[in-house]
A and B are shown apart, each in its own frame.
Chain A
């Protein structure tokens, strides 16, 4: 409900924008891009005055005037200096970015605690739902505006404005200063746009310097859609049409979000929709007979989409409700971030992983959205979460949290990756805060960085810093820095502003020239991505860099003191768990990040000739040694798998669980990076290289190719350590000679063929079949060693082993037929890779003669083998995980023997068994995992008692076999 109401209200507010864009683009035929700047100016001016307590209506009027000033500048530049309209608009829009920042004084002004038009209206709300009341009032306001504007265009001045745009020559000949009229028109239009900005800022609860980006597109889309839907020659109707167009546009966005579209695609959808609209319009001009019909078609299409969407929604809603009733307690969590920024993604991924690990997996639905840096979209996303009845909403990043706190008061909100939640009104203190809100936050204590710098370098007094004032958090950090330096009269601060990565080098050089002796950098997205430029300028002068970002340590910062964005997500997950378990958010205090990381780069220190006192080295969590190696209190693991598939996932789960049981939780006291090679050897090599470059402590390769890659890359350095899993023959892969004689940095658990167990299972299942056929590639080292053992065991147990060797996969079919011809009544796959590649041929040959195929690999069971007897891969992973824990604790891989995992798993395919009429013995049913769609009739007598005495009396003989299975025998 909120979704559609919210869209309607937003649409009406954007109606002002549509009117403005209509005046410039349709009446004056003037492509005015100034609006991208004016929209924000309106918001900025309004916000500045509202915060000071001005009456909202007056603030809106002032915003209107400000917008008119902006527009008149564009008009003036265009008419006086004959500069192209588009160019004039671009120039003013660009200038406005700086102007807006000056007006606001910062990049973001929260309006939640100030009087606004919204709060004013709420004050006179006779008791309706706030969005409904807003809808009524906005409709009345827009109706009045529409009438006034339509009337204006009937006045002499309005008609003159229209004729100036229509035929300037004629108008000038009529005695009109057309330049002045144009300037007035552009000014008026921008005045409207500024009003729109001012309204939206009050609706969403804050003004932000970036909120104007994309405004012209929205305006044009509204105008075009409105024009197509309602065609008329009357100016009054045209004005109404564009206001409706703005509403339609917001509905379109709401629909797209509701249908699950990624907000990243919204601009694409906008473009497509406008394009379709224009094409329809164009066709209606070509085929003149359809002029009158097309708008109707369009209406019908639009109505169909809206009705279709609503009914889908209603039906879906009902399904979900009934599902909810049938399901055991399930949750729906909305996750929203302002953009796909690296830091925010890290938080989100860590959050989701931790939630899964805590058990919120199948029973929880996560709706994940990103607003693609657009704040109106943020509001629509929040509306959609409410419509979807989310149990809880997680907001990542300050803008997302601001918008949510402003809008939502009846759903629990948890925030993460927010520097300072107090500044925009989420609460007064950690314990005194909005009832439905809690979360994790933390700002880097910049003052501590300064203190640290003074402790290490008491003689360096001139501090250099930089940041992007367009980022709210950056201003906050710089403010702290300024205050700290201010309190210390010996220190002086040199500051530079940056607005794009290209500014960074120059800013750094200029700081160096101004005598900066040490750089102290805040958390800032541009610094995050352009650190190299700073280093380039500072390094030649040996200026140490103190960074708030831990990753920069290895890039060349001397000291880093910051937090781990992933831990923000993990902490948030724990808060979410508490709320889902029933705790009231009001009683959960905000949590500061627990995990700060203090890092020292001793290599840089060495290169600059700096002595770092021991007490710092002891305090450090992460140290880069003078020789370049990294020691950190948090062990880092690089895990690489061949490709993502269920078996590999089992192995991984085993690894994680083993580590967790040893007390290592990913993200808290251990850092595991997981990568999949996607079955691509190049990819696997690249991943391994990346792990080595990032100095992980241990590489955990899953599968033989990954092990081989790791071995190859560490062949010279024997570092880092390798603990493998999911490998059938590590020695064939190059890990060494045998269990105790192997390469010094490698260890792990292998998965071997359980010869005895296989033969046991075969004996149970197919007691008559004694002739086992094996096809294998004589040049595969692993097969050679496996067959050697298998041969010996078969001989021991009186099985007749028939072998046929091949060298390429193409030969497998013939070879299988040949071995059957030789007399094999059962085919065994021993893990030969060549045969595995061509497994379908084996099945083809065997099934033609109704011969069962048994394998060591559970994957083959789905592909046609009736049974597999192989390693329990989860345990294999768990074994390897335990080795990893032991290595972290200090043991050397060289001392850990490479041994096979003992646990074995039998899997039987009941469909294939049924197909050929092979009955699965009950002993096997008890031990094996059964896969297959057809139900098995299990006849296992729960408890059987036999009265032998009676049997004797009646002369009945009971066989020994039945007697053996009886639980109780009465003699």
Chain B
């Protein structure tokens, strides 16, 4: 479903804020796979997600979704294929519009916006049914303005809005990081249910090792703009959080070993 080849991206080249965020990333994602992405800070996880979404143009490489080369397309031209849930629960919904209106807007994902009224009683009934699936008792509050809801409720609605149109790819960017543990758990339950029921192709960035291991069919580890490890379902079953932590510790140690130090070690001990 997703095919990323040799992706490179440097932000603010030539300035003091220069960041070489993606250093040659290759990734093949099959339809129905649920990838979790973990990595240290600044490893390029969110950048990878943004690249798939189309927030920027890569310096090098290509991105294909469903065999369509989308590398040159801006984000709004990929939106019919790709849905996103942001980390910030306030970024995914329009605060001064009602729940029903937001759901309707989500239903128009990737479609032409014509000056025709489709937002009527029948549709609102549909949305009420959809909202029920969240199990948050929001079905009677469809006319409430989103701004009145809590972060967790908003994130849940954002999630619903993302899956509503059955997109080819769902991108989840640490979407529970800003929520309290109880709400986070609730959102994860919903995420799991939606993805597994519909066999969506999903890429989920997470900070939680636990989540990374428990959820999804595949986990990739990133470090310094590269994918350093790719764990399939079997391997994931065997690994624990501590194992992952160990892996990262090794990395850190390895990073501390510069070439100079390696030379010295060699001369001293060999």
Q: Hey, which bits of chain A sit against chain B, CB under 8 A?
A: 151-152, 154-160, 162-163, 166-167, 169-178, 181, 233
* The residue from A167, A175, A233 contacting B94, defined by CB atoms under 8 A apart: A167
Q: Is the CB of A173 within 8 A of B119?
A: no
Q: Are B93 and A167 in touch, CB under 8 angstroms?
A: yes
Q: Note all chain B residues with C-beta closer than 8 A to A175.
A: 76-77, 79-80, 108-111
Known: A162-B94, A175-B79, A177-B76. A151 touches B108 (CB 8 A): no
Most buried by B among A166, A170, A173: A173
Interface SS majority for chain A: helix
Inter-chain contact A159/B76, CB cutoff 8 Å: no
A to B CB contacts below 8 Å, 22 in the list = A155-B117, A155-B118, A156-B108, A157-B114, A157-B116, A159-B105, A162-B94, A162-B97, A162-B101, A163-B102, A167-B91, A169-B91, A170-B91, A170-B93, A172-B75, A172-B79, A174-B76, A174-B106, A175-B77, A175-B79, A175-B109, A176-B76
B102-141 interface mask toward A, CB cutoff 8 Å, 1 = contact, 0 = none? 1011101111011111110000000000000000000000
B168, CB-defined interface residue at 8 Å: no
Instruction: Name B81's closest neighbour in chain A (CB-CB).
Output: A175
Say which residue of A151, A157, A173 sits within 8 Å of B113 (CB atoms). A157
**Bound form: Cα–Cα A178–B117 in Å:** 20
Chain A residue contacts of B75, Cβ below 8 A:
172-173
Q: How far is the CA of A139 from the CA of B118 in the complex (A)?
A: 29
The interface centre, meaning the residue of B94, B97, B104 with most chain A CB atoms within 10 A of its CB, is B94
For the complex of A and B, list the 10 residue pairs with the smallest distance between their C-beta atoms, beginning with the closest.
A175-B79, A166-B94, A175-B110, A160-B113, A157-B115, A167-B94, A163-B94, A155-B115, A156-B113, A157-B113
Contacts of B145 in A (CB 8 A): 233
Q: B200 → chain A, closest Cβ, in Å?
A: 17
Asked whether, in the complex, the Cβ of A174 is within 8 Å of the Cβ of B79, the reply is yes
Residues of B within 8 A of A173 (CB): 53, 75-76, 79, 83-84
Number of residues from B at the complex interface, CB < 8 A: 34
- Give the chain B neighbours of A163 by CB distance below 8 A: 94, 97, 101-102, 105
By the criterion CB–CB under 8 Å, are B95 and A166 in contact?
Answer: yes
Q: How far is the CA of A169 from the CA of B105 in the complex (A)?
A: 13
B61-84 contact mask (Cβ, 8 Å, vs A): 1 or 0:
000000000000001110110011
CB-nearest residue of chain A to B112: A156
B210 at the interface (CB under 8 A from A): no
Q: Nearest B residue to A176 by beta-carbon distance?
A: B76
Q: Give the dominant DSSP class at B's interface.
A: loop
Q: How far is the CA of A257 from the CA of B83 in the complex (A)?
A: 58
B94 near A170 with CB under 8 A, answer yes
B92 at the interface (CB under 8 A from A): yes
Q: Give the contacting residue for B92; candidates A154, A170, A176, A181; CB below 8 A.
A: A170
- In the bound assembly, the distance between CA atoms of A158 and B97 in angstroms comes to 12
B96: CB under 8 A from chain A? Answer: yes
The answer to whether B118 and A156 touch across the interface, beta carbons within 8 angstroms, is yes
| B121 CB to nearest chain A CB (Å) | 12
Q: How far is the CA of A174 from the CA of B54 in the complex (A)?
A: 12
- Given the complex of chains A and B, what is the CA–CA distance between A737 and B29 in angstroms? 119
Interchain pairs with CB closer than 8 A, number: 91
Q: Which residues of B contact A176 (CB under 8 A)?
A: 76, 79, 113
Q: Which residue of B lies closest to A162 (CB)?
A: B97
CB distance from A188 to the nearest CB of B (A): 11
Task: Report the nearest A residue to B91, measured CB to CB.
Answer: A169
- On chain A, the residues within 8 Å of B80 by CB distance are 175
Question: A172 contacts which chain B residues (CB < 8 A)?
Answer: 75-76, 79
Chain B nearest CB, measured from A32 CB (Å): 19
Chain B residue nearest to A166 (CB atoms) is: B94
In the bound complex, residues from chain B placing their C-beta under 8 Å from that of A151 are: 117
CB nearest neighbor in B for A181: B113
Question: Smallest Cβ distance from A180 to chain B, in angstroms?
Answer: 9
* Nearest chain B residue, comparing its CB with the CB of A27: B96
Asked if B114 and A155 make an inter-chain contact with CB atoms under 8 angstroms apart, the answer reads: yes
| Residue with the highest number of chain B CB atoms closer than 10 Å, among A156, A157, A169 | A156
Query: Is the CB–CB distance between B114 and A159 below 8 Å?
Result: no
Complex: chain B residue closest to A163, CB-CB:
B94
Q: Which residues of A contact B76 (CB under 8 A)?
A: 172-178
Contact A166 B96 (CB under 8 A): yes
B157: min CB distance to chain A, Å: 11
A670 to B119, CA, bound (A): 79
On chain A, the residues within 8 Å of B104 by CB distance are 156, 159
How long is the Cα–Cα vector from A167 to B96 in the complex, in angstroms? 9
B241 to chain A, nearest CB (A): 32
* Contacting pair B109 A174 (CB below 8 A): yes
7 new A-B contacts at CB < 8 Å, known A154-B119, A155-B119, A160-B105: A155-B118, A156-B111, A156-B114, A159-B101, A166-B95, A176-B113, A233-B145
A156 neighbours in B (Cβ, 8 Å): 104, 108, 111, 113-119
Please state if A155 and B53 are interface contacts (CB–CB under 8 Å): no
How many Å from the CB of B212 to the closest CB on chain A? Answer: 24
